[in-house]
Structure 1
Amino acid sequence: MTLLAWWPGVEAALYCVDSAETMRQAINGAKASPGADEIRMKSGIYGPPIVSGPDAQYDLTLASGNDLTISGGWSGANCTAQTNDAALTLMDGNQQDRIFDIGVSGGSFGVTIRISNLMLFQGRDVGNVGGCMRIQGYQGVGANVYLERLIFAECTAGQRGGALAVITQSGHLQIKGNRFVFNTANSESAAYLNNVSGNTYFINNSVIGNTTLSPVWPALTTACNLIDYCLVANNVFWNNVDANGANRDASLVGGQSLHNNRLDAYSGVPTSAANNISADPGYHSFNDFDVHADSPLRNAGRSDFPFVSPPSLDLKGVARPGGAAIDIGAQEFNEPEGPLFANQFE
């Protein structure tokens, strides 16, 4: 681990890490620092650390002012260059542990958490929520949470949120440009988002092939109140099923806007809904999420939403929008030069 910078006046630190053990050291450093910390992860594979936390491979609780930024795809001796491709930095739970468990303690409304440009693979928590990642405000507090360009693959939770669970009492929640694929839970196989008081944005994500182990439960639940603005837009929901094999994409709790999504089935009554489609997404295959040139996802998204903008890059770092309008889902159409092999998580 390299400690790149330390600002004693504000007690903040910047770390450059290249292994599970140096990542663990950086997390421990962030625990001890009351200021805003940033952890830059070099591209590579991060297996389970030798010593994990009690509830995850990497666990910490943030107090007031203890902002945290974690991002992958870095290179160079001191993490000075970044490649914006989420698949380049893989965190492997090995079906043993949840990967991230981040708590927010009392009096910390001002905490901001930003995590981006990573692939979280085979995280597991059999008795709780959030198989790969859990972010939770304790004792009625909340946080601003920004998750962008993340791949959640083959994560498992015994309760809610096979890949992700975010439970916060206040603040802004933005989940943008991520892929949730082949995750499993008793309910909400992909993500459980509960923001009691604050705006929630679930935009340009791809939620594909997730399975709930109970009937009726969907891949995603977004729970909001009727006062704040909650938006589910520009997402792909495809082949998400419950225990009976029925399509179960999303459950909308509270006042929500549902716009420009590709989905088959949802529950709840949105306050507004427009331009949602159910056509075949036109992927190359169920394991290759590049789309054909005639895909209905192309140029079918919307960008003019209040308070929030769609992601400017897709999961592979392609600039968005690439055409007349942004594409639906986490990936922008980009004609490849013809790779020899396709990886199911690319």
Structure 2
Amino acid sequence: MNSTLRPLAGLILLLALPAADAATYCVGTAAELQQALNAAAASTGDDEIRIRRGTYAQAQTFLYTTTVSGWLYVNGGWIEDGGTPCARRSNVAGDTVLDGEGLRQVFKLFYNPAVTPVSAPRFLLSNLTVRNGFGEGFVRGGGLSMFSNGENYAEFWLDNVIVAGNSGYFGGGADFYLKKGLLRIANSLFADNEAPTSAYGHLAITVLAGESPYAAVLINSTFAGGTCAGQANRGCGIGAGLGEGARMDVVNSVFADNAQSDMSIEGFAHIGFGAGTAYYDHSLVPVTTGTIAPSVTGALDGDPRFVDAAAGDYRLADDSPLLDRARGAIPVYPLAFHDLDGRRRLRFGALDPGAYENQTWDTVFAHGFDPAGD
């Protein structure tokens, strides 16, 4: 075990593998979460931080900064049972909240390897809500920022995460930067984020160079209610900058009510990094701007008919024209078996697009069956 773990009196260390310097932590307070992040950042092994259900806020941004290449897996929803603090997990993203209280950026990860790693690191956040973040001045990603400055390949994963009500500069909800690697966002909701003095209310994505078949994949996710000042043709949904060999795929996803544009996709040829490519597959993306035109398959259109967007309910209503229309092939890694509410993902012949699976619509009643009839 790394020597930095010894003073963590309140932190529960569930599992330690001294030979690999890896550990699994169970945390129940904001202070314990930051302590676990510090310990994991110093570890050369692959570490997991399990966050118990609840709301977590502290006076500073939750920070993970490292020069080593161990994997990091931060996941919420953990529940005490039978005296064991992290005995089982809820798959409801809203059960565990990291809250910026409208005062500070919520979470920041910075990876700058000192040496070329033997294996590629992966940094994964799951089963969490990141809300009320504030990036003051020129701080990118009011909700969260993940930055890889290494020349080597690295991966950022968001799985079953809500990013909502955040404000920042160029990426109000989140900012992701990879010199080389993969960003994977799956089964997640970005809602009501803003960039009040710039563009990209929800998130900004930069991948300078591609090495694997994919550089950015957005899968079964919902992006709604993004606002911003705008900049030229850059709107308030997502901004993606893709260098040579970097491919972005938007699959089974829903964009709605984002001011000015939903996606802005640009290359970096003007600064010597070339330009990548983009593909939409069975997704609703009403307005795209930028210098890279996407190739589109199975485009969805129309009003998604959320249950109550004004109240922040971005589940598809029973009369939504999008039900059962998420038929795009899912790249990189299979989708989880549950949606953002922790409910069954596949109910009928196909998935629903976006972060939620409708749980109330029924094919029997939709085709005219009358339960009161003879």
Normalising by structure 2, we get a TM-score of 0.82
Contact 2:306–2:317 (Cα < 8 Å) also in 1: yes
* Cross-structure match for 1:45: 55
SS at match of 2:318: coil
* Cross-structure match for 1:265: 287
1:236 paired with 2:254, answer yes
1:217 paired with 2:234, answer yes
Q: Map Cα deviations across residues 255-311 of structure 1 (whole Å, 9 max, x no partner).
A: 111121123211144452022233111112112223222212211112424544344
1:69 paired with 2:73, answer yes
1:204 paired with 2:220, answer yes
Identical columns (%)? 26
Q: Map Cα deviations across residues 14-64 of structure 1 (whole Å, 9 max, x no partner).
A: 110111111111112112322211100000111225xx2xxxx21122333
Q: Which residue among 299, 303, 307 is the counterpart of 1:280?
A: 303
Equivalent AA in structure 2 for residue 64 of structure 1: V
Contact 1:299–1:323 (Cα < 8 Å) also in 2: yes
1:189 paired with 2:193, answer no
Distance 1:226 1:271 in 2: 15
Task: Quickly say closer, same or farther: Cα 1:165–1:74, change in 2 above 3 A.
Answer: same
* Cross-structure match for 2:183: 173
Q: Which residue among 130, 134, 150 is the counterpart of 2:161?
A: 150
Distance 1:281 1:83 in 2: 28
Unaligned regions of 5+ residues in structure 1, if any?
A: 242-246, 337-346
Equivalent AA in structure 2 for residue 210 of structure 1: G
Unaligned regions of 5+ residues in structure 2, if any?
A: 1-10, 267-275, 362-374
Contact 2:239–2:263 (Cα < 8 Å) also in 1: yes
Distance 1:156 1:291 in 2: 26
1:60 paired with 2:48, answer no
Distance 2:148 2:244 in 1: 20
Task: Quickly say closer, same or farther: Cα 1:142–1:167, change in 2 above 3 A.
Answer: farther
Contact 2:155–2:181 (Cα < 8 Å) also in 1: yes
SS at match of 2:356: coil
Distance 1:224 1:178 in 2: 22
Equivalent AA in structure 2 for residue 291 of structure 1: L
Q: Which residue among 47, 54, 79 is the counterpart of 2:86?
A: 79
Distance 1:223 1:311 in 2: 28
How far apart are 1:194 and its partner, in Å? 1.2
Q: Which residue among 251, 271, 277 is the counterpart of 1:255?
A: 277
Distance 1:138 1:172 in 2: 13
How far apart are 1:12 and its partner, in Å? 0.7
* Cross-structure match for 1:289: 314
1:316 paired with 2:334, answer no
Q: Which residue among 92, 95, 98 is the counterpart of 1:91?
A: 98
SS at match of 2:350: coil
Equivalent AA in structure 2 for residue 43 of structure 1: R
SS at match of 1:256: strand
Task: Quickly say closer, same or farther: Cα 1:122–1:142, change in 2 above 3 A.
Answer: farther
Q: Map Cα deviations across residues 71-108 of structure 1 (whole Å, 9 max, x no partner).
A: 00001133120010000001110111111111111335
Distance 2:295 2:70 in 1: 37
Distance 2:255 2:202 in 1: 10
Larger Rg: 2
Higher mean C-alpha deviation, range 176-185 or range 22-31: 22-31
SS at match of 1:28: helix
